[in-house]
């Protein structure tokens, strides 16, 4: 059975080569670019001629669907540019697709963040459904936090071997990425009539911190665990605050600017 590694990318020249070097064993590599302004496409073309550009961004889900439509192989392995397939995971994937049964497979993802791998905090094993037979499963069209749909009710099985995830370059990158996800989340919720409140943001933010740091043993990740719990609480609050701002009554009625009226 043939397998394709599929990536959606934008401005990923810092990560892409290292990622693709862990995928040279697959039969096909498909790269869907969202309009990169750096050397992403040039790097991709060193590894494959299956490079397409769709700069009309409609969300992560739609972009993954576009990439899926270009695949010719029997199996799809969906990978992000900041991820690396370890040799153990490669062997597990090859064994899975050589079997006679169709299934969706989850991969354990181990994230590197702020100078260390995070093995607690609810981050590991961060199992993600990424290996599936073409035409039997597909990603939904969500703007963000897209999910793999399983219309044929295929069994879901777990693979061994880590998918390494080099998630954030530094604190600024975390904050920028978090703000982007919060904006997309709030936009998606507002579009279906959901309301937000600052109280909900505070409660969910506090719950996020307690869950990550205490219930999920984030304290075992040392200072990185404390920082991640605090940042995640902030990110959770921010997305509810964004939703609240979007659904508030719009600005005041048009009129003269303060201090410009008649005296």
Query: What is the CATH classification number for the domain harbouring 135?
Result: 3.90.550.10
In a domain, 256, yes or no: no
Predicted local confidence at residue 169, as pLDDT: 84
Q: With 60 as the cut, is the pLDDT of residue 257 above it?
A: no
Residues 185 and 150 in one domain: no
60 and 8 Cβ atoms separated by less than 8 Å:
yes
What is the arithmetic mean of pLDDT over 229-257? Answer: 81
Higher per-residue pLDDT: 173 or 249? 173
Residues 11 and 99 in one domain: yes
Residues above pLDDT 70, as percent of the chain: 94
Cis bond upstream, residue 227 (ω within 30): no
Last residue of one domain, picked from the residues 113, 143, 166: 166
In a domain, 178, yes or no: yes
Q: Produce one character per residue of 209-246: b if its CB has 16 or more CB atoms within 10 Å, e if not.
A: bebbbeebebeebeebbbbbbbbbbbbbbbbbbbbbeb
Residues above pLDDT 90, as percent of the chain: 83
Residues 162 and 203 in one domain: no
Residues 182 and 197 in one domain: yes
Residue with tokens 């959770």: 236
| pTM as predicted | 0.82
In a domain, 255, yes or no: no
In a domain, 125, yes or no: yes
Over the Cα atoms of the chain, what is R_g?
21
Last residue of one domain, picked from the residues 166, 194, 210: 166
Residues 234 and 155 in one domain: no
Predicted local confidence at residue 248, as pLDDT: 79
Q: Is the dihedral of CA 64, 69, 71, 73 positive or negative?
A: positive
Please, what is the average pLDDT of the chain?
93
pLDDT tens figures, 126-154 = 999 999 999 999 999 998 889 999 999 99
Residues 175 and 162 in one domain: no
Which region among 7-16, 46-55, 107-116, 186-195 has the lowest average model confidence (pLDDT)?
186-195
What is the arithmetic mean of pLDDT over 67-71? Answer: 98
In a domain, 260, yes or no: no
Q: With 70 as the cut, is the pLDDT of residue 249 above it?
A: no
Place 177 in a pLDDT band, splitting at 50, 70 and 90. confident
Residues 76 and 202 in one domain: no
Q: With 90 as the cut, is the pLDDT of residue 247 above it?
A: no
Higher per-residue pLDDT: 120 or 252? 120
What is the arithmetic mean of pLDDT over 6-23? Answer: 97
In a domain, 83, yes or no: yes
What is the arithmetic mean of pLDDT over 154-166? Answer: 97
Residues 137 and 21 in one domain: yes
In a domain, 227, yes or no: yes
- The range of the structural domain enclosing residue 188 comes to 171-247
Higher per-residue pLDDT: 43 or 251? 43
Predicted local confidence at residue 19, as pLDDT: 98
Last residue of one domain, picked from the residues 120, 144, 166: 166
Place 250 in a pLDDT band, splitting at 50, 70 and 90. low
Identify which of 161, 173, 87, 166 has the alpha carbon closest to the alpha carbon of residue 130: 161
Predicted local confidence at residue 263, as pLDDT: 44
Predicted local confidence at residue 192, as pLDDT: 87
Count of structural domains, the chain:
2
Higher per-residue pLDDT: 145 or 79? 79
Residues 89 and 117 in one domain: yes
Residues 161 and 98 in one domain: yes
Residues 176 and 162 in one domain: no
Residues 136 and 12 in one domain: yes
Give, as one character, the DSSP assignment of residue 134: B
In a domain, 252, yes or no: no
């Amino acid at each position: 059975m043939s397998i394709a590694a599929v990536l959606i990318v934008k401005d990923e020249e810092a990560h892409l080569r290292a990622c693709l070097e862990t995928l040279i064993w697959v039969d096909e590599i498909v790269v869907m670019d969202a309009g990169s302004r750096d050397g992403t496409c040039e790097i991709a073309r060193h590894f494959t001629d299956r490079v397409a550009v769709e700069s009309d961004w409609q969300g992560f889900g739609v972009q993954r669907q576009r990439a899926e439509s270009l695949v010719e192989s029997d199996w799809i392995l969906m990978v992000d540019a900041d991820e690396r397939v370890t040799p153990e995971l490669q062997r597990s994937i090859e064994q899975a697709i050589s079997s006679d049964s169709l299934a969706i497979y989850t991969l354990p993802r181990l994230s590197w963040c702020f100078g260390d791998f995070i093995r607690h905090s609810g981050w590991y094993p961060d199992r993600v459904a990424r290996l599936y037979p073409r035409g039997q499963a597909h990603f939904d069209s969500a703007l963000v936090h897209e999910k793999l749909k399983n219309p044929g009710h295929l069994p879901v099985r777990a693979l061994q071997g880590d998918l390494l995830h080099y998630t954030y370059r530094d604190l600024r990158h975390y904050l920028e990425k978090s703000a982007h996800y919060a904006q997309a989340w709030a936009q998606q919720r507002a579009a279906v009539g959901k309301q937000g409140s600052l109280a909900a943001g505070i409660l969910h933010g506090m719950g996020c911190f307690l869950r990550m740091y205490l219930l999920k043993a984030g304290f075992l990740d040392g200072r990185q665990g404390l920082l991640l719990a605090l940042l995640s609480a902030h990110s959770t609050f921010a997305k509810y605050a964004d939703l609240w701002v979007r659904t508030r009554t719009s600005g005041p009625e048009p009129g003269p600017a303060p201090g410009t009226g008649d005296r």
